[in-house]
Amino acid sequence: MMLGGWGLGLYFGQLLWDNIQVILVSYQVYAFWYVVIMGFLSFVICYRYGPPKDQRSKNLIQWGLQMLAIFIVYQSSHYTELALAVNVLLVILYYFPKTWINRSRSFYLRKFPKKRRLLTSEEFYEEGVRETSMA
């Protein structure tokens, strides 16, 4: 990175991305079996030695699964602009502070309260009789 700058880094990143796409398109069966076998091997290792107990390891696994999910959402559509917009929306909603949502909701409810249902004459009379008998 220091010799070529970001341009060289992006070039190698694009080259790697193109090669991965060629491999996945040309060798779909091998890629599928690689994922299945490595998944099974990971399961066996976790079963033998137990699940990760360190919080950092759990965070790395969570972040990896989240990145994989976003990648799958992006690749699941031919309309890439919409898929990218959905991914950005998902990330924004995930990291959006919940207090802001609650604050805006309470502001909306204060500004536009629900209309109260008034009692009819019969309901008013029945409630009066009921409350008087309880007193």
Q: Going residue by residue through the chain (135 aa), what tens digit of pLDDT does each one get? A: 456 677 888 888 899 899 989 988 888 888 888 899 999 998 888 888 888 888 998 898 889 888 988 888 888 888 889 889 989 998 888 888 888 888 888 888 888 888 888 889 999 999 999 999 987
End-to-end CA distance of the chain: give it in Å, rounded.
Answer: 83
Q: Which two structure tokens, joined as six digits, stand for 30?
A: 């091998």
How much is the pLDDT for 130?
93
Model pLDDT, residue 4: 66
**How far apart (Å, rounded) are the C-alpha atoms in residues 38 and 35?**
5
Domain boundaries, the chain: 1-43, 52-135
pLDDT at 2: 59
